[in-house]
Structure 1
């Protein structure tokens, strides 16, 4: 085995084609976060992105994309923004993970949304969870029929509020792929308001993330979907598309219309729009949103953990991050704690707003 580390933009056409071919070896590798477009996009705006190209004789057998930080610590590309991570390789490939890190001159690789089935990193799992996926392979009518069975009350409520929204505010119109940059800016503004309102860190306060979304929107890798009531944008979603797979990424809604559950209406309209445009599944990401149970058709097993080599840098990183990761994991795994933490963050956001 030979490992060569390069910057994403130094990958040649043949290597990018091989990357795409390797994705076809496992349905979960088709997730947009594992597509070359994602790594190339992030690498355009960040200088710390690298790709390990792994060869066995004359053949490239795997790609290992990562972000390199201080002390030889690495994370998946777009860490904190991605809902699926891993090495792009056939599912039966098992590499020596610590040897891989040494070949990349890394001390640590942290992951929190790793495809759990990947054999290379299986010994290093600390926690396993699942990520829900909407199954649209049989079309929207079949998907909706299953949803009615799995969550009849939720489905009935969504459709009732959808009709009421149309009566009270204006005729509904859904645009699956909107190419207007002003509408993308509006989505980011709505999302920033949500982050502030709920006490979360505003992702769009970082200019490189704003530019990344613009880049994906312009190149067609990102899909902006908008629900209008009359002339009003009431909800929107920005996701990533790779072939027939959509990764849910940034949903947002206008709080003025919150009583109509426009976010839920938007999710159902997104499913319909995806099915009509050749998308067979939507990866929804993990998290404590109970509504996802009614939408999901299957699950992807994901893992959180760390590969580390016995170095000083790895020890310092462990001491700094392990307590925080354990606390965050406990909250995510306990619905009651998740709701309590959510309330605390919202209260903090309200108090912070009063002191400004």
Structure 2
């Protein structure tokens, strides 16, 4: 079996790493399976892409489509054009896509139009928010997928509601957690750890990149100032996304607690998460890792495609207003973490299950 694996953005790299390891494990035992790794170039900043290949021991891509940035339409079209040429020149039995970025949808469409089967890892997750580009990517990808690999029973149920064939749905667990478990002994403090006087539980991690939170400069500044006041004597480590940094521009912010740092590699970032007091984010994926690590997470969104992190895990959905975040954070400071657990099959073996299923096809 020849598999083409697609990676385009930071979350993709974390998800493909254990899948590649699982394939190579089968290869070492003489199983007839091979892969070709294609990097679309959707994320091209070193700290958002190259670093992950190095840290997670992912082989250098067999091809880099180097599409870079653009509008949603421009980027999607560029990926489709480049990947069509790639797939024609390097035929495959299956194209495996992960997550919900533009690369996921674009490469799935190209594969299906070339009559190549598609496997979608993290299929079926839904936020119900059609203003999110990722939600559209999920729905389109799942509408043409042949093999669905889900992280939860809720995701599997979503697919059934959308009309997917139940025999093609495989609840396997969470590959991001595979990567987390495989690297917990390798995580390390960033260079600024001592410089900023960071110690376990004395700081909060902040990440912001969604348009609803960062696209308007004045409201972004007000949000940052509110978070800065909210945490008391805790420091706030803010790895600033290039998108957010560009919106702030040359603005001179006077912030007491927030420490602006560059985007972090996986091993440094997971060290920061594991040793933090709490996390404030508008990311979906981070809430999965905080759930397994038992770290309180406050997600600044009105919807989530990962409801299990709220029902079972440590995630709190707090909306996009600083007022509500402040209220929920104050409740946490007073009452502590009310519940904590790890969802079913988030055990570090999802990738092995995925490869085992593919080998039966």
Say whether the fold is shared (TM-score over 0.5): no
**If the length of structure 2 is used for normalisation, what is the TM-score?**
0.30
Which structure has the bigger radius of gyration? 1
By percentage of residues, which structure has more strand?
Answer: 1
Structure with greater contact order relative to length (CA < 8 Å, sep ≥ 6): 1
Q: TM-score, normalization: structure 1?
A: 0.30
